[in-house]
Structure 1
Amino acid sequence: MWVEEYKNIENQGFNFSPRFTCKYENGELTIEEKKDYISIFPDNINITAIVGENGSGKSAILSSMITKEKVFCVMSENNQLTVYSNNILINTPLKQKRSTREVFKKILYFSMDNHHLSLAKTQSRLTVIDLSQTNQLITENYAKLQTIDFSLFNFKPYYIGYEFINDWIASDYEFEEKDIEEVHSALGWEHTADTSVIVDTLRALRDLDNEYMIYLLNKFGTIAKIFEHIDLTEKLHPKDFYLTVNYEEIQEILEGMKIDFVDESEFTQLISHANKMIKIKKLRELFGENYIQLLFRRMIDELSFDYMAQNGSSYGSLSHGEKTLYSFFVNLVHFNNSDFLFLLDEPDNTLHPNWQKSFLNEMMNILTKLKKNAHLVITSHSPFLLSDIPKENVIFLEKGKQVYPNIETFGANIHTLLSHGFFMKEGLMGEFAKSKINEVIDYLNGKKSPITDDDEAQKYIHIIGEPIVKRQLQRMLDSKKLDKIKEIDELKNQIESLKNRLDILVNNS
């Protein structure tokens, strides 16, 4: 890929396959295949990692691949190299095409950054992995998921359960002074108006037991917003305090506000099956043809879901790392293309180190099991992930420029990768710990330090985990103590000598 200009990257080429050597100069592109190249990855998979400090340009490279800026990419299609570009003239014997929607259909994108994810969806029309949509994809693909084993744990969703998030159907809140003030303002009442009727109205709302009415009123978002559209102080009987407003009136207002809601029959059906485990295949029968739209779009804020396999294992009992990996699995099952580019922007960002260690291996197992051919391009800060990739498959970035550190990444130890692969020139110790150790060193060297005595210095030395540093500081402290003992002995001797001299002077006087 050649980037002429995008964010902090200018006139740079990036090679995502060590199988080729690529050169672009003065508008001329030459690509040669390395005949002796042997990949360590499965035949259906290639992997490129992009690493560097924050701000080095990692995410910018991924973004540039899906933009229409001054960028061109060379991709392999049916064992033939094709150049995709919209606005760069290239002199090459290779076939050239414009970047179109057809190209983007062959890209699957993931980012933990919601802004990047949104741009990929809306501007480039990419298929994205959105972890918030996992429930919907599990439901849509449950039949496929029954036929494929997931190697990490045996979970094949067969049942679905949901419950209403309580705030949507409960009104037993304790209203506060600010609620009264906001309603007062929404009604446009004068400052001196009596607010006791507002208090009575809020109490009546608090005591409502009609769940559908509560649901509709909650769709307004805030108590004050209800009163902006309906003066409930006039809709409550002053004696019995019951609502005289009807559903149709509220629904008409919500429609005018372009707020989506379900009607009473749908709501009743949803309530009747809440807190139960239902066979996923029965959802259409229970909720109609548009059950996906109902459950995962229209009621997405109101419902929380769980899934259960026939063996009794549940999705809700999985750890965060397991859910994340399972979500990738479900998305790959759902994605129709069998030959694609898989862009992953820091996918291991929220994973425990154990899952970081397993991530690439599991991705390769999943893709192989699904018989998909994929080129994974991954940005990462994880030394575990980098240790699974040869340096020929790694793009190292520093301040928007590609650099070539003298390091072998594959199977390397974590300390080496952190120091060299991730450019941690200031060491691997936390800054707070380093500052405290420096204070101990200053004290032991007789320099100005917040540490005032040996006991305080010993307290810090005792809890240091790095053995060489700990041992050296202990030696320095012990030496300091010995020096003090020697100094004390010398002073004692001097005192004794002075006493003897004084005695002689007294006796001779």
Structure 2
Amino acid sequence: MFSQDNKFFLRILTFKYYPSSTGENALAYIFAYIHDAINYRTKNKDILIFIDEIDSALHPRWQQTILWYLLEYLNSFEDYHFQIVFTTHSPIILSDLTDNRIIRLKRDKNKIKIFTKENQTFGANIMRLYYDDFFMDNGGIGEFVKKKIKQVVDYLNGKDNNISLTEVQYIIDHIGEPTVKRQLKQKLNELVSNKEQTLIELIQEIGVQEAIERLQKRK
């Protein structure tokens, strides 16, 4: 925390209240440091506040309220003027800010560059902000499940034999996106139906015992 006379105030504050979560501690430290600086460390009325990753360790519900409570708290100091600069990786925090108050940074090889977006952030849909402002170019799901779904698709298209039918069924049954789940289940039902029909035709042609032996050899 800095003031216009270029003094830097930092004091290690220790809290001893239990039980407390990491998020509760993060909130306590933010407000405690500000309170400490204003009341005990400076007489300057113009204060610049820096907060690194204001959303760190905060539950999404707390991310929705942190700026509101922070501004309410600072507004209680009527004779002071504050400017707050903070970093965040949270689209929830971003949705509380107008786009003219946001500086977006992006790593380009070994350099950090400022980039601009045309979209307005204030009150914007949080999921849209994820895609527009947080480089979610590879979709909105984790890399692990993405690879698993691709493996299922390859299996259904006859391109992957390294996964069992049981695992394919398990993965499809637990997919949370209804459209993807429905399409994969339909494809699976068609595949199983075709295999059952092929097995019936094979049994009719060569008999049960020989059909079983052929299937065992394929494994």
Aligned residues of 2:4 and 2:47 also touching (Cα < 8 A): no
- Paired letter, 1:356: Q
CA distance in 1, matches of 2:133, 2:31: 29
Aligned residues of 1:353 and 1:384 also touching (Cα < 8 A): yes
Q: CA deviation digits over 1:220-278, x for unaligned, max 9?
A: xxxxxxxxxxxxxxxxxxxxxxxxxxxxxxxxxxxxxxxxxxxxxxxxxxxxxxxxxxx
With structure 2 as the length reference, what TM-score do the two structures score?
Answer: 0.78
CA distance in 2, matches of 1:443, 1:127: 61
Identity of aligned residues (%): 38
Aligned residues of 2:131 and 2:137 also touching (Cα < 8 A): yes
Q: 1:485 to 1:413 in 2, by over 3 A?
A: same
CA distance in 2, matches of 1:102, 1:421: 33
Q: Out of 80, 84, 100, which is 1:392 matched to? A: 100
Query: Which residue of 2 is the match for residue 340 of structure 1?
Result: 47
Query: Which residue of 1 is the match for residue 189 of structure 2?
Result: 478
1:371-390 paired onto structure 2 within 5 Å = 371=78, 372-390=80-98
Q: CA deviation digits over 1:175-203, x for unaligned, max 9?
A: xxxxxxxxxxxxxxxxxxxxxxxxxxxxx
Query: Which residue of 1 is the match for residue 126 of structure 2?
Result: 414
| 1:370 CA displacement | 2.5
| 1:478 CA displacement | 1.1
Largest Rg, 1 or 2: 1
1:285-304 paired onto structure 2 within 5 Å = none
**Is 1:316 paired with 2:195?**
no
Query: Which residue of 2 is the match for residue 249 of structure 1?
Result: none
Query: Which residue of 2 is the match for residue 459 of structure 1?
Result: 170
CA distance in 1, matches of 2:161, 2:103: 43
CA distance in 1, matches of 2:35, 2:20: 19
Q: 1:441 to 1:359 in 2, by over 3 A?
A: same
Q: CA deviation digits over 1:25-51, x for unaligned, max 9?
A: xxxxxxxxxxxxxxxxxxxxxxxxxxx
Is there any run of 5+ residues in structure 1 with no aligned partner, and where? 1-65, 67-100, 106-125, 136-304, 307-314, 497-509
CA distance in 2, matches of 1:404, 1:449: 46
Query: Structure 1 runs of 4+ off > 6 angstroms?
Result: none
CA distance in 1, matches of 2:26, 2:35: 14
**Is 1:435 paired with 2:143?**
no
Q: 1:449 to 1:374 in 2, by over 3 A?
A: farther
Counterpart secondary structure, 2:103: strand
- Paired letter, 1:353: P
CA distance in 2, matches of 1:373, 1:413: 31
| 1:446 CA displacement | 0.7
Aligned residues of 2:152 and 2:168 also touching (Cα < 8 A): yes
- Higher helix proportion (structure 1 or 2): 2
CA distance in 2, matches of 1:355, 1:334: 22
Aligned residues of 1:407 and 1:421 also touching (Cα < 8 A): no
**Is 1:331 paired with 2:33?**
yes
**Is 1:402 paired with 2:114?**
yes
Counterpart secondary structure, 1:134: coil
Q: CA deviation digits over 1:46-78, x for unaligned, max 9?
A: xxxxxxxxxxxxxxxxxxxx9xxxxxxxxxxxx
- Paired letter, 1:321: G
Q: Higher relative contact order by CA 8 Å / sep ≥ 6: 1 or 2?
A: 1
CA distance in 2, matches of 1:470, 1:402: 39
**Is 1:445 paired with 2:157?**
yes
| 1:385 CA displacement | 0.6
CA distance in 2, matches of 1:419, 1:104: 39
Query: Which residue of 2 is the match for residue 127 of structure 1?
Result: 9
Aligned residues of 1:439 and 1:449 also touching (Cα < 8 A): no
1:34-73 paired onto structure 2 within 5 Å = none
- Paired letter, 2:82: A
| 1:493 CA displacement | 5.8
CA distance in 1, matches of 2:143, 2:161: 17
Aligned residues of 2:98 and 2:120 also touching (Cα < 8 A): yes
Aligned length: 196
Query: Which residue of 1 is the match for residue 64 of structure 2?
Result: 357
- Paired letter, 1:446: G
Q: 1:487 to 1:334 in 2, by over 3 A?
A: same
